[in-house]
Copies of this chain bind each other. A is one copy, B any other.
């Protein structure tokens, strides 16, 4: 039997009162239901980061090990001023080779109706440079204040099949890339 695909969920904001946390927990719970997946929830505000440094030299060893071990990644991110949250980028930049030839799917979150679509576009060059392959399905949690109640319960059930479609594609790409990493010799890094 295939060993599980390890795909953690990264919650990409530390803003107090963040609504993205509800979305991330929903994604995490749905991912857990998939027999073929192993997952965990990584919270950007739990990572060991600094305000006076950046990049690989301030690597968080636990986060690095998780990304090293993962087969794919889900990022749940709000959109701030048409870009990605600073602390999400600060976190992502701590790792480098850990990401190579792995799959990533992005869920955007916003109070407006576009569900973080612009933050996702903004992440594409970053994902690519890290060596990640961004799948071409997203989930856009628009008008997020109406999608979950105070306790984080999902109020709009249409997001269950939307997320299913997203997970199906992510699982496909994750499986394919893992096959590649394990069976087809990778070009040497330069």
**Which A residues have a C-beta under 8 Å from some C-beta of B?**
13-17, 45, 49-55, 57, 80-93, 113-114, 117-118, 121-126, 128-131, 133-134, 136, 142, 165, 168-169, 172-173, 175-177, 179-180, 184-187, 190
Contacts and interface: CB of A to CB of B under 8 A. Distances in A.
B175 A184 contact: yes
Contacts of A190: 165
A119 to B, nearest CB: 10
A128 B117 contact: no
Contacts of A55: 15, 80
B93 A90 contact: no
This chain's copy number in the assembly = 4
A129 B81 contact: yes
Nearest to A115: B114
Contacts of A113: 113-114, 142
A182 to B, nearest CB: 10
Nearest to A132: B136
A53 B125 contact: no
Contact of A90 (B87, B122, B180): B87
15 contacts: A15-B54, A15-B55, A15-B57, A17-B57, A45-B52, A51-B87, A54-B87, A55-B80, A81-B129, A113-B142, A117-B118, A129-B136, A172-B187, A176-B176, A176-B180
Contacts of A89: 80, 83-86, 89
